[in-house]
Amino acid sequence: MHVLTIGAAGMLGRKLTQRLVQMGELAGKPLEALTLVDVVAPDAPEGFDGHCRLVAADLSAPGTAAQLIQSRPDVIFHFAAIVSGEAEADFEKGYRINLDATRDLFEAIRHAHAADGYFPRVVFASSIAVMGAPLPYPIPDDFHATPLTSYGTQKAITELLLADYTRRGFFDGIGIRLPTICIRPGKPNKAASGFFSSILREPLVGQEAVLPVPDSVRHWHTSPRSAVSFMIHAASMDLSKVGPRRNLSMPGVSATVGDQIEALRRVAGEDAVKLIRREPDPDITRMCEGWAPGFEAKRARELGFVSEDSFDDIIRAHVEDELGGMP
């Protein structure tokens, strides 16, 4: 089994590599080779005996996609993307990376398929950003994608391409609409959604965090651990059961900010909760109101995708995976 991960230096890409190396196999076949690609060369995973190639490359540069699949990886995980804020700030860059580079990859596979029957599994990290307000709660699986950002538009277009290339038999694709990842490990970042993680992550290590929105804001979350499990399951499962609708809204936990805080109180106590400082920001609050409150994710659940059941479990996953089990 040869796995190619594009966007391997990102948070989820790194966690996916770690998990694959721990498992030593994918879809019942021993993990023999890893090709890890990002704009900066990813770190080599620890404890992997197989063949590992670390590549610094820009997928949007001509010829790069064809080069990456030259060795015919069996499974391709595609995470690489310009994030939402940057895709909104730089229209051309967003379309070049999030749409054109991905299409280059799909085209390279199509040409390889025509040349020698190459037929990889392609697991695409899509996003709940394909949805745009007004949104029902919960959002059913058959709800239309009307994104309100260029990033969401680019993800929604890639979903359509993935379904068409799959239907045409060029590759075996599946799109995974990831919930917001919470608790995102690491330092606070500037993403408008960053507070969903920081109001838990910082208090868990005794630091203050700022909450810019009311407790009533509801959003859709899953842990990094579950997100990685989604990608692994998508790479392993029998896709013949999925049919032509290849883009799946993943399960997750729908929670208000108030629910998140109550879960923090239960897991880490009142002292942690006291570290959350309320600083209302009308701009962030307005943005949040357009975000997805939660999904039914009926098809994904039936197909065996599993997330946490409660926000307590999401916090515990962070404590176990990032803090060595010590709150």
Per CB under 8 A, which region of 146-154, 202-210, 214-222, 225-233 contacts a second copy?
146-154
Q: How many residues does the chain have?
A: 327
- Helix (H/G/I), strand (E/B), else coil: 45: coil
Binding mask 195-234 for a second copy (x = CB under 8 A): ----------------------------------------
Alpha-carbon distance of 181 to 260, in angstroms, equals 13
Rounded least distance, CB 220 to a second copy, Å: 17
| Under 8 Å between Cβ of 142 and 97 | no
Per CB under 8 A, which region of 14-22, 48-56, 136-144, 253-261 contacts a second copy?
136-144
Choose, by CB under 8 A, the member of 168, 274, 277, 286 that binds a second copy: 168
DSSP letter at 128?
G
Chain positions 73 to 132 lying near a second copy, rule: CB under 8 A, are: 91, 110, 132
Rounded least distance, CB 248 to a second copy, Å: 12
CB atoms closer than 10 angstroms to residue 144: 9
Binding mask 239-268 for a second copy (x = CB under 8 A): -----xx-----------------------
CB atoms closer than 10 angstroms to residue 48: 17
- Helix (H/G/I), strand (E/B), else coil: 252: coil
286 lies in the binding site for a second copy (CB under 8 A): no
Our answer to whether residue 151 is catalytic in this structure is yes
Rounded least distance, CB 305 to a second copy, Å: 18
| Under 8 Å between Cβ of 31 and 4 | no
Per CB under 8 A, which region of 162-170, 192-200, 212-220, 302-310 contacts a second copy?
162-170
- Residue 286: phi and psi, rounded to 5, are -65, -45
Instruction: Please pick, among 95, 118, 137, 151, the residue that the annotation labels catalytic.
Output: 151
322 lies in the binding site for a second copy (CB under 8 A): no
CA distances to 56, 60, 91, 109, 125 from 64, in Å: 10, 7, 22, 12, 20
156 lies in the binding site for a second copy (CB under 8 A): yes
Single out the residue of 235, 105, 227 nearest to residue 162, CA to CA: 105
153 lies in the binding site for a second copy (CB under 8 A): yes
Choose, by CB under 8 A, the member of 58, 86, 90, 164 that binds a second copy: 164
Alpha-carbon distance of 219 to 314, in angstroms, equals 14
Task: Find where tokens 């995976």 sit.
Answer: 321
| Under 8 Å between Cβ of 250 and 181 | no
Dihedral sign, CA of 209, 215, 219, 222? Answer: positive
Rank residues 58 and 100 by Cβ distance to a second copy and give the closer one.
100
Rounded least distance, CB 207 to a second copy, Å: 37
143 lies in the binding site for a second copy (CB under 8 A): yes
Tell me the catalytic residues: 151
Can you give the binding site for a second copy, defined by CB under 8 A?
91, 110, 132, 141-148, 150, 153, 156-157, 160-161, 163-164, 167-168, 244-245
